[in-house]
Amino acid sequence: MASTSTETSSSSSKLPHKYDVFLSFRGSDTRMNFVDHLYEGLVGNRFNTFRDDEQLERGGEISSQLLDAIEESRICIVVFSKNYADSRWCLNELLAIIESIASDDGRIVLPIFYHVDPSHVRHQTGSYCTRYTYPERDADKEKVEMIEKWGNALTAAANMSGYHVDPKTHEGNIIEEIASQISDCIDQKPLHVGTHLVGLDIRLNEIMKLKSGDKSKFVLMVGICGLGGVGKSTMVRAIYNELSYQFKSKSFLEVAGDVSKDCHRLLDLQKQLFCDISPRSKKKIRILAEGINVLKNMLCREKVLLVIDGANDETQLQNLAGGHDWFGEGSRIFITSRNKELLVQHKVDVLYQLPELNNDEALELFSWHAFETSYPHHDFYILSKKFVEYCQGLPLALKILGSCLFQKQSHEWKIQLRDLDKEPNMKILDVLKVSFDGLPSTYKAIFLDIACF
């Protein structure tokens, strides 16, 4: 089918997009057949879909709730069936949808002509020539004006590119096409990565090459290690955004703190993973041991994109991604950790050591935060080089110090540099301390011996 097109206003949306899709339909015509199958297909493809007969609160003000749902939806699908125009409710809903385009220049209206001729909808003929679309002789002015608005809304919707479903159409194929088009329309970069991503593209391309070749057919587990503050979390968010469109089943898990000692937090992560992959399942995970079996049985049937960010203990990985046999063919699992040995122990297929920024990259990143330009001001060049040298290519340290020095005078820069020689910046120190705390006890002892020496 041709891509959807609408004439829209340049004004911005008043409400955020809470829903991916809003479904408008005549319940008596299609609720128990096509719309039910369409709804299942949309939800199965992870689209947050509003269907009024299911999601309106009982006893609530229906009209205002529907209006809010329309305004909060990215895409509105209108299923024109034989008796759609016989319902004032449906016509008012359609009118609200068409009028909503003016408040959101990104909203899309997708018409589906279910067992009806699109020209009948466009010109209000055939089954669409009803008392609600064609004024009676004795109709008053207000009623005539309302009928004219409904007619204009029907014409506008019918002029948009959509889908014609006749009795001989294979509905399953149409639903797949609709889901594919919606996927193309909705932003496929769900995670915020950050700004001034200096050096990210080069490293991202290196990691993307790791999944090429024969391994693309099998489960591939990639471990990304590096110092605290080197950008591991930023990298896997970029990877997730880069690959997410290829996977119907995907999940991004942030492992914050020492989750291995917090059974409740680890159980919450199991539940999050289960919900991300199977959002409509009503099965409950009560304990970690049960969660392992539930996840393994579910994931092995799926092609999954899974990111586990910040692992620091084997217990976490055993409960969330026990092994290659947990996942279906073609799955991609990315795990970040400061602990290289942990990733080796978990038998990742590829281990990628995320490098620090080189001198030129570091100076550029520092400059973006200190001057809001890609290069330091002439009078601050030498001082900038000294701060960059202090940061040793760690992006987080460069961002923190650059932001601290923004719009400050040169004498303040010199004081800050002198203070760093005496006492490190606490924000940077806290990040490095986490790296130290994650070391095995033997390594900690060796590190302290070297430091004292």
Specify the pairing of strand 73-80 against strand 49-51: unpaired
- Sheet of 19-24: strand order equals 49-51, 19-24, 73-80, 108-114, 163-165
- Cα–Cα distance between 235 and 355 in angstroms, integer? 11
Q: What is the CA radius of gyration of the chain?
A: 28
Query: Does 93 qualify as catalytic in the annotation?
Result: yes
* DSSP-assigned letter for residue 57: P
With 0-12 / 13-18 / 19 or more C-beta atoms within 10 angstroms meaning exposed / middle / buried, residue 192 is: exposed
* Active-site position among 93, 356, 361, 364: 93
**Which residues, at least 6 apart from 33, have a Cβ–Cβ distance to it below 8 Å?**
none
**Which residues, at least 6 apart from 415, have a Cβ–Cβ distance to it below 8 Å?**
none
**Which residues, at least 6 apart from 280, have a Cβ–Cβ distance to it below 8 Å?**
43, 44
Provide DSSP, 125-168: -GGG-STTTS--TT--HHHHHHHHHHHHHHHHHHTS--EEE-TT
* DSSP-assigned letter for residue 439: S
β-bridge mates for residue 49, sequence order: 21
**Which residues, at least 6 apart from 32, have a Cβ–Cβ distance to it below 8 Å?**
none
Sign of CA dihedral 293, 298, 303, 307: negative
- Cα–Cα distance between 206 and 394 in angstroms, integer? 19
Query: Among residues 355, 358, 356, 318, which one has the least CA distance to residue 335?
Result: 318
* DSSP-assigned letter for residue 13: P
* DSSP-assigned letter for residue 104: -
- Cα–Cα distance between 225 and 369 in angstroms, integer? 25
Active site residues: 93
